[in-house]
Amino acid sequence: MKNGIKDIAQITGYSTATVARALSGNGYCSKEKKEKIMAVAKQLDYQVNSSAIALRCGYTRRILFCIPDICNIFYFKMIQGVMEVLEKNGYYTMLYPTDKKLEKEIEIIQLLKQKFCDGMIMVSFDFCQENISAIRESNCPVVITNKYDGQMEQDCFDYIFVDHTYGMELATEHLIEKGCKKIAVLSGSPTEQTTKERLDGYFDALKKHGMEMDRSYILNGQYNNECAYETFKQFIEQGRKVDGLIVSNDYAAMGILRYCHEAGIHIPEDIKLVSFDNTDYALSCMPTLTSVDMRQYEIGKYAAEILLERLQGRSKNHNIVMQPTLVVRQSSK
Amino acid sequence: MKNGIKDIAQITGYSTATVARALSGNGYCSKEKKEKIMAVAKQLDYQVNSSAIALRCGYTRRILFCIPDICNIFYFKMIQGVMEVLEKNGYYTMLYPTDKKLEKEIEIIQLLKQKFCDGMIMVSFDFCQENISAIRESNCPVVITNKYDGQMEQDCFDYIFVDHTYGMELATEHLIEKGCKKIAVLSGSPTEQTTKERLDGYFDALKKHGMEMDRSYILNGQYNNECAYETFKQFIEQGRKVDGLIVSNDYAAMGILRYCHEAGIHIPEDIKLVSFDNTDYALSCMPTLTSVDMRQYEIGKYAAEILLERLQGRSKNHNIVMQPTLVVRQSSK
DNA sequence: GTGAAAGCGCTAACAC
DNA sequence: GTGTTAGCGCTTTCAC
């Protein structure tokens, strides 16, 4: 043993309780003793042992923040939002990338049960029976960033999510208003919940404006720059006519810009382009991108705030919807 | 108390020692008892308490990884390298962004002393007396990703770094070989160590090829897209002639591409461009960027490996230099 | 083979 | 005011 409260007690000749009182400021300790104790503590470079506190007090002041991919620009603002709120409240954020793998999600929920952290915010592409059950059974405070319909009152988790359908409606209507007649969509994988929600918004907007919908205008681009490039290239080379294009994210939109540049297609003159996420990419492109802001910062911020409420014992279920906004720039002017 | 070893002991009627033996697999426990214990453990959904282990055993199996900016693409590969190695060895990586602030660095070293984690990998723009002393006094295993000359044998830290001077030599010589006569540099802040090292490489390469050097060709662009755009715009509008440009990172290079596009300057025909970092940006630009690969993945990987060695008690100082490589693409062809 | 008990470093309840 | 002590959940030593 070294540099513990016991050592300081031994050196100063006071009891461990007195030393603890002096160090923590809780409870009375005479000025004289306090001074001596603080001096010795400083000399020994005393540091509390965080594991001892965690064991004794039952909290770690740490929060797990799980995201599918730590290197995806989409999450940057969300990370910022989460960390700002937690830091302000004296919590440390532990980032944990799940690689979009269910097994990693399950593993991390396990960790939570081991009192590794006090709570968790989890972003996942796929909230299913398995991970939701694990969260539920962990009985630890958790916030998930998706809509989840099966929530029960005694559940330990809250959720906050952004309305993808509405985001897509905004994008589609914007292009319609700009006079586009043939609007293609480069969307994510058709099995993903998000993709379905977005396509709903696309169809709703078309219907609302009395425009016909053509399934062949829905392309699968997988959120990926290279894939977007190839998919759209094929589409155009088939001789398809388009004057509006909605792309699943800014990075994929960059792939589109690259193809159009090479193919001599002018944006926004020939095709008006809208993408999703409103990340920094949207600003550094040529032309700059019109993009649907998915409120990532607020999602992170509110997720952290809801979690803090849970930790403070208020256990009313929260479920928040955020409405996206459209940021118009050169690519659709 | 609930779901602890004590509870299982109570329910099964065995001692806590027996239960612990059954659960951990260390020491003998009869098959019959083990089965019963495991059944009860499963039923109670028993989970070890990580704080108790940390307190009792003195290790957490967690490693802190501090980086100035978690949202900077430059660190992505490094994060990947660190996490892969640590995960393979049963450690969790805790990412911590320091916002380039000394106070946050000091705070996190404090945390390390509190046995929050078993060790740390720290990336900083500025290793100075203050943070190095704090690391030294923490007496915890640490790896820093910069050269540090004052290292002493008994120090608890190792270092690994990339040779910026050589990287700049590669970039400069490449442009010289491509026939460039007027090579400008858009570098970082002149007070930073990295900037100085890189400029050394620039001067060395010019000297080696008998080319004159002109201080006015060294521009301060601060690693930033917008700033790069403005700085280079001003430079060109002053009527300066350039046929080669070296930019501090890929993101800043995108700002240059944007300006050149608007100004009708063709790359690589009018100006050949080389940037640093070889991130994914370099691939998604038009034209694609020639870029100096700073070996981020390896830096992360080796940093983690060195740290693991320290944790396993081998305490020989390591200091590793990585040599950058040049990846040639369209922007300098 | 199995159990009792000490102790990791700390907090807090309770004596005095 | 200050000290003694129990106990957080676990591992490990040492009896039996």
User: Which has the higher per-residue pLDDT, A125 or A227?
Assistant: A227
Higher-confidence position of B113 and A314: B113
Say whether both A129 and A158 belong to one domain: yes
pLDDT at A25 over 90: no
CATH number at residue B196: 3.40.50.2300
Chain B: residues touching A (Cβ < 8 Å): 45, 47-52, 54-55, 60, 70-71, 73, 76, 79-80, 83, 92, 94-97, 110-111, 113-116, 137, 225, 251, 254-255, 257-258, 261-262, 283-284, 286
Q: Which of residues 6-65 of B touch strand D (CB under 7 A)?
A: 6, 16-17, 20-21, 23-24, 26-27, 46-49, 52-53, 55-57
- How far is Cα B57 from Cα B300, in angstroms, rounded to an integer? 28
- Is B118 inside a domain boundary? yes
Decide if B55 is inside a domain: no
Helix (H) or strand (E) holding A201: helix A193-208
Query: Å from A27 (CA) to C13 (C1')?
Result: 13
**What residues of A are in the B interface, CB distance below 8 Å?**
45, 47-52, 54-55, 60, 70-71, 73, 76, 79-80, 83, 92, 94-97, 110-111, 113-116, 137, 225, 251, 254-255, 257-258, 261-262, 280, 283-284, 286
Chain B residues within 8 A of A225 when measuring between CB atoms: 283-284
Claim to verify: residue A92 and residue A35 sit in the same structural domain: no
DSSP E strands, A29-118? 62-67, 92-97
Domain membership of residue A55 (yes or no) is no
> For A11 and C7, how far is CA from C1' in angstroms?
21
Q: What pLDDT is stored for residue A224 in this prediction?
A: 83
Mean pLDDT along residues A112-126:
94
E strand spans, chain A = 62-67, 92-97, 119-122, 142-144, 157-162, 183-187, 218-220, 244-247, 272-276, 290-293, 319-322, 325-327
pLDDT value of position B329? 97
Please name the residue whose C-alpha is nearest to the C1' of nucleotide C3.
B15
Per-residue model confidence (pLDDT) at position B77: 94
Same domain, B276 and B172: yes
| Closest residue by C-alpha to C1' distance, nucleotide D3 | A15
Query: Do A288 and A304 have their domain in common?
Result: no
Q: Examine residue A227 and state whether it is found in any structural domain, yes or no.
A: yes
Residues A264 and A301 in one domain: no
> Which residue stretches of A267-312 are H helix?
281-284, 296-311
Gap from A108 CA to D7 C1', Å: 29
Contact A221, A227 (CB under 8 A): yes
- Which string of DSSP letters, residue by residue, matches B81-150? HHHHHHHHTT-EEEEEE-TT-HHHHHHHHHHHHTTSSSEEEE--S---HHHHHHHHHHTS-EEESS--TT
Residue A50, CB, strand C, below 7 Å: no
| B225 belongs to a structural domain | yes
pLDDT at residue A125 tops 80: yes
pLDDT of residue A27: 83
Q: How many domains does chain B have?
A: 3
**Quick one: A32 and A129 in the same domain?**
no
Which of A60, A71, A262 is opposite residue B76, by nearest beta carbon?
A71
Structure tokens, B203: 């001067």
Provide the domain limits for residue B18. 5-48
Q: Do A70 and B95 touch (CB under 8 A)?
A: yes
Check B113 against A47: CB less than 8 A apart.
Answer: yes
* Contacting residues of A for B225, CB less than 8 Å apart: 280, 283-284
A54 found inside a domain = no
Report the pLDDT value the prediction gives residue B230, as an integer from 0 to 100: 94
Question: Does one domain contain both B29 and B112?
Answer: no
Contact present, B68 and B97 (Cβ < 8 Å): yes
Task: Please tell me the predicted confidence (pLDDT) of residue B169.
Answer: 98
A93 in a structural domain = yes
Q: Tell me what pLDDT residue A26 has.
A: 85
pLDDT class for A1, splitting at 50, 70, 90?
Answer: very low
Q: Is there a domain that residue B287 lies in?
A: yes
Q: Tell me: do B100 and B150 sit in the same domain.
A: yes
Q: Residue A237 pLDDT > 90, yes or no? A: yes
Q: Which helix (H) or strand (E) holds B164?
A: helix B164-177
Q: Integer distance in angstroms from CA A108 to C1' D8?
A: 24
Q: Answer yes or no: is pLDDT of A174 > 90.
A: yes
Which pLDDT does position B71 carry in this prediction? Answer: 85
Whether residues A205 and A230 fall in one domain: yes
In a shared domain, residues B169 and B214: yes
In angstroms, the CA of B265 and the C1' of D13 are apart by 78
Distances (CA, A) of B167 to B15, B145, B190, B280, B303: 63, 16, 17, 18, 20
The strand pair at B325-327 and A319-322 is best described as unpaired
Nucleotide showing the shortest C1' distance to residue B16 CA: C3
Per-residue pLDDT of A265-299, as tens digits, reads 999 999 999 999 999 999 988 899 999 999 999 99
Residues A237 and A310 grouped into a single domain: no
CB atoms within 10 A of CB B184: 23
Which stretches of chain B score pLDDT less than 70?
1
Q: How far is CA B104 from CA A76, B129, B274, in A?
A: 19, 15, 34
- Protein-contacted positions of strand D (CB under 7 Å): 1-5, 7-13
pLDDT at B286: 87
Same domain, B317 and B169: no
| Tokens describing residue B23 | 């659960």
Q: Which residues contact A154 (CB under 8 A, 6 or more apart)?
A: none
